[in-house]
Chain A
Amino acid sequence: MSAASALSKSASKTVPAPSTPAAGASTLTPGQHGIKEHSDGRFGYVPVQTRSDRFKSVNVADFEAVTGREAVWKHSPVAKFTDLTADVLDGSRYLIESTSSADISVEWVPRTDARIGTAGLPEERAAANAWGVFDDALAITVSGEEAKEITVTRSALGNTARGAHTIIEAKPFSQATVILANTGDARISENIEIILGESANLTVVSLQEWDDSAVHLANHFASIGRDARLKHVVVSLGGSIVRVNPSVRLAGPGSDTLLLGLYFADAGQHLEQQVYVFHDAPKSRSRVNYKGALQGQDARTVWIGDVLIGNKAAGTDSYEQNRNLVLSEGTRADSIPNLEIETGDIVGAGHASATGRFDDEQLFYLQSRGITEEEARRLVVRGFLTEVVQQIGSPELEARLQLAIEAELIGTDDK
C-alpha cells in the first residue's frame, strides 16, 4: 500500500565548474548545457552533475525551445503552455490588493533596481522568458524587528500570457510573514526573489487558489544571509497547471530554512514543485516537508527535492521529505528526492519519500466505528495535511486552509 519512490544519492565528484561565477551569471560558455542540442547518446559528453552547475541565463534566446524531454520539464504538460515558454509575454504591471502593515512597503520598482538578480537566475526557458519582459518589479520590503503580517492578493490577472517579477526583501533583523494569495484566472510565468539580510526572520506563503483554468509557472529564488531564517510555504489547491519551484541558497553561516508544501490535486489537475536547497555556508540547516493528496481521474502531482551540500557547508544539517496520499484510482504522484554531498563534515543529511493509499481496509475500520465514508475521508486527509498546516504559524491562514482543504474534498466528490 505504500511505495517508496526512487532514491538517489551521490557523493559528488569534482566536476570542474565551467567558469561559472558564484551566483551564476548570464554569460555563456560555448558547449554549455542547455545551449546545444540534447545530449542523449552523444558519446564522450559529460552531463552536468552538480546541481549548482546548471546553466543559468536571463536571456530567453539562450534556451532552446522546450520539448518536454528536458530534465526540468519532463514531468510537465509543456504542450499546454507553449505561450509561456515560446511567445512574447505581457510584462506590464497588474492589479494587486494588499493589506497594509507598518514597516512593510509594497511598491513597483524599475528593472534597474539593484536587488534584481541577486537571489538567483533562471535555469529554464519560461523563467527566462518572464525575466526578459517585465516592465517593473513588485517589491515587498520588510524592515522592523516586530512580528507582522501582510497579504498581497492577485485576483485579476486574466488569461493574457504574462511575465512578472517580484522581490521580497527582509532587511537585517527584520521579521514578518508575507502571504502571496492567488485567485481568479491566470496564464503567468514569474520569478520571485526572496532576499534575507542577516538575522532576518521571514515567512513567505505562496497560496495558489486559482480558477480551474489557470496556468502558473513560478520560480522562487531565495538567498539567506547569516543567521537568518526563512520559512517558505507553497500551498497549491486550485489551478489547471501549477508549477512552483522554490530554490533556496543558504548563503550565510548559521542560516536556516524550513520549506513546507501542501497540495491537493483533483481530477485533471497538474501540481508540481521542484525544490532545491543549496547549503553554501557552514552550520546551515534545512528542513523540507511537502505533503500532497490526490483524488480523481488524472490528478497528477510532481515533487522533486534536490539538496546540495556544498564543500563550504561544513556542520550542516538537512532533511527532506515528501509524502503523498492517494485517495482514488487514476492518479499519479511522482516523488523524486536527490541528495548531493560535497563535504563529509555534516551533522545530518537525510531524505524520505512515501506515497500511500487510503485503502479499503482503513475505510472499513473507520466505518465499522459508525463513521460515514465521506467523514472517514475527511478525517484521514485532514489528519494527513494538518501537520504541514500547523507549521505555517499564521492562525488565521491555518484556519482558512483547513476549510479550503475540506472544500477540496467535497468539491471533488461532486465531480
Chain B
Amino acid sequence: MSVLEIKDLHVSVETDQGTKQILRGVNLTINEGEIHAIMGPNGSGKSTLAYTIAGHPKYHVESGSIMLDGAEVLKMTVDARARAGLFLAMQYPVEIPGVTVTNFLRTAKTAIEGEAPPIRTWIKDVRQSMNNLRMDKTFAERNVNEGFSGGEKKRNEILQLELLKPKFAVLDETDSGLDVDALKIVSEGVNRAKANTGLGLLLITHYTRILRYIHPDFVHVFVNGRIAEQGGPELADRLEDEGYDRFLVPSNVG
C-alpha cells in the first residue's frame, strides 16, 4: 500500500521584504485510498504545502521530509515527482499557447508511463473522461487553458487527474470559482478517479462546500503554517458553523 508521509516540514519563500517563513513544522501521513481535507484561513500556508509537494522552485525547504513509499520526494525534480505518482491540481493553471489539450495529454501520459499509450484505447479513454466531465469535444483541439473559463480550467485539471492516474493527488482550492453545477461535475470526477484507482487525496480548501460532494476521512485545520487541529468529518461541520475565528489568535502569517 502506498503512503505519503510529510515530516516536520519547514518551508520559506523569498519576498521583497526578505525571507518569509511559511510552513513551520507540518506533519501529515496519507495512506492510499484516504481523503484528507486541509482547511484553513487565507495565508495559512495551505497552497505552499501543495506547491512544495509538487516541487515549485519558488519554495525553499529548510528542513523536514516528504517520503513517498520510502523514497525522498524532496530530492526529485518536478517531473520525477509526477512520474513517481504525485499530482497537483492547480488553483490557477497557466495557459500553454500552441500546445493542444490532445497533444499535451498524450505527451504527459507517455512521460508518466514511460511509453506511448496504445492509440485506440487512449482516444477512447480521453473521450470518455471528457464526456464525464461534460467537456465539449472541441476542447481537445484547443490550446491548454488558453481562453478557458475558470470552470473549464478546473475540469481540465480533473481530466488530467483521471487520465494520468496518480497514486496521490493534491487538489489546491479546486472548488474556488466554481458554481454549484460545475462543482458537482468536478467532484464526481474526483470521486470517479478515486473509485477507479484508489488514490489518496489531499483536498485543500477554504470552504466546506466541496466536502458535501467529496467526503473526507480526515480533516486538518491549518493555521499559521502548521496543523492546529485534526479530526474526522465532524470537524468540517464545526468549521462550517464557527468559522476559523477561534484559531486566529494571536496571528496568522499573512
Inter-chain CA distance A383–B57, complex, in Å, is 25
Contact A364 to B57, CB < 8 A, known contacts A369-B82, A372-B111, A375-B107:
yes
B contact residues, total (Cβ < 8 Å): 30
- In the complex, A73 has a CB within 8 A of chain B: no
Most buried by B among A362, A367, A369, A386: A369
**What residues of chain A have their CB less than 8 Å away from a CB belonging to chain B?**
356, 360-362, 364-373, 375, 379-387
Q: Which residues of B contact A380 (CB under 8 A)?
A: 96-99
A370 touches B108 (CB 8 A): yes
Indicate with 1 or 0, residue by residue over B108-134, a CB within 8 angstroms of chain A CB atoms. Answer: 100110000000000000000000000
Q: Which residues of A contact B22 (CB under 8 A)?
A: none
Q: Which residues of B contact A369 (CB under 8 A)?
A: 79, 82, 104, 108, 111-112, 160, 164
Contact partner, B90, options A365, A383, A384, A387, Cβ 8 Å = A365
A379 touches B103 (CB 8 A): yes
Rounded to whole Å, the gap between the CB of B4 and the closest CB of chain A is 16
- In the complex, B208 has a CB within 8 A of chain A: no
- In the complex, B56 has a CB within 8 A of chain A: yes
Contact partner, B77, options A360, A367, A386, Cβ 8 Å = A367
A384 touches B56 (CB 8 A): no
- In the complex, B93 has a CB within 8 A of chain A: yes
B94 touches A365 (CB 8 A): yes
Q: Which residues of A contact B93 (CB under 8 A)?
A: 365
Rounded to whole Å, the gap between the CB of B245 and the closest CB of chain A is 34
Inter-chain CA distance A47–B28, complex, in Å, is 72
B143 touches A362 (CB 8 A): no
Looking across the interface, which residue of chain A has its beta carbon closest to that of B77? A367
Inter-chain CA distance A382–B108, complex, in Å, is 16
A379 touches B99 (CB 8 A): yes
B79 touches A356 (CB 8 A): no
Contact partner, B79, options A367, A379, A384, A387, Cβ 8 Å = A367
Contact partner, A367, options B82, B87, B98, B99, Cβ 8 Å = B82
B83 touches A370 (CB 8 A): yes
A375 touches B111 (CB 8 A): yes
- In the complex, B2 has a CB within 8 A of chain A: no
- In the complex, B135 has a CB within 8 A of chain A: no
Inter-chain CA distance A202–B88, complex, in Å, is 50
Inter-chain CA distance A364–B108, complex, in Å, is 13
Most buried by B among A366, A370, A371, A386: A370
A356 touches B83 (CB 8 A): no
Q: Which residues of A contact B57 (CB under 8 A)?
A: 360, 364
Other than A356-B97, A369-B82, A369-B108, give 17 A-B pairs with Cβ distance below 8 A.
A360-B57, A364-B54, A365-B90, A365-B93, A365-B94, A365-B96, A366-B96, A367-B77, A368-B55, A368-B87, A368-B90, A369-B104, A371-B82, A380-B96, A381-B98, A383-B98, A383-B100
- In the complex, B214 has a CB within 8 A of chain A: no
